[in-house]
Chains A and B, each alone.
Chain A
Amino acid sequence: MNRIAVVEDNPDNRMLLHAMLDDVYQLEDYENGTDALAGLTSSPADLVLLDISLPGMDGLQVLKHLRDRATTAKLPVIALTAHAMTGDRERFLAAGFDGYVTKPIVSDAELLSAIEHHLARN
């Protein structure tokens, strides 16, 4: 079973992701970027779902740290964001995210499809 790191500070969003994904993947939760970077060092994942608006270090900063590390440089990372502003998708992809999913997530099929797509590419 593939391991997915969920980096998300909102408990209801984490609960929803578990409801959508627990049957298919092994999820590891992190509430902030610092914990995620430490956890991903000791407990590698196959893919990361990374919230953009985290307390402290935001998702873009977490992504940069991941890309700077040899062990996580090529790890697929999908942005989770409630921003949904014009141009956000391009901005996040240009920053190095592999994919982009807007919140609230209304389709578990769409999320699963995005995850499978990036796992297969890796």
Chain B
Amino acid sequence: MTQQSEIDQDALQRLSALGGEKLVHRIVGLFASFGVARVEDAERGFAEGDFAAVAAAAHALRSSAGNVGALKLLAVATELEHTARARRGDVVKDLVSQLRQCYDTARLQLMGPVFGGMS
């Protein structure tokens, strides 16, 4: 069964119109490298009880996700930022887990088409 795309193709088309495929490659490449570091920051922050670090990591991921049209990741990161700022640990735990899942899915769905199957 094919997984439904969580990527807004309009966002990628905007990038392409702005700077061609070169810009799309570079922005998606940064999402792959910079984004995973932010997911790890969120996981580490939660493990250490550092809600400010979780909120900061989620906030950074929001704009990266928005740039590449990763809509589900954007929604989860937004909710995580708000709940981490409110220090709602029970909800934050679940959202950090969702963040990892959404990031991995978005990365896979972006890297395949953009980099010809590389992940």
Contact = CB atoms under 8 A, between A and B. Distances in A.
Given A13-B63, A82-B63, A103-B63, A19 B34 contact: no
A42 to B, nearest CB: 28
Contacts of A9: 60
A20 interface: yes
A45 to B, nearest CB: 22
Given A82-B63, A104-B67, A53 B34 contact: no
A13 B15 CA distance: 12
A16 B27 CA distance: 8
Interface string B68-82: 000000000000000
Contacts of A10: 34, 60, 63-64
The interface residues of chain B, by DSSP majority, are classed as helix
A12 interface: yes
A20 to B, nearest CB: 7
Interface residues of B, number: 19
Contact of A20 (B18, B31, B34, B59): B18
B14 interface: yes
Contacts of B14: 106
A15 B63 contact: no
A11 interface: yes
Interface of B: 11, 14-15, 18-19, 23, 26-27, 30-31, 34, 56, 59-60, 62-64, 66-67
25 contacts: A11-B34, A12-B30, A12-B34, A12-B63, A12-B67, A13-B63, A13-B64, A15-B27, A16-B27, A19-B19, A19-B23, A20-B18, A53-B56, A53-B59, A53-B60, A82-B62, A82-B63, A103-B62, A103-B63, A103-B66, A104-B11, A104-B63, A104-B66, A106-B11, A106-B14
Interface of A: 9-13, 15-16, 19-20, 53, 55, 82, 103-104, 106, 108
Closest 8 A-B residue pairs measured CB to CB?
Answer: A104-B66, A12-B30, A19-B19, A103-B63, A82-B63, A82-B62, A104-B67, A19-B18
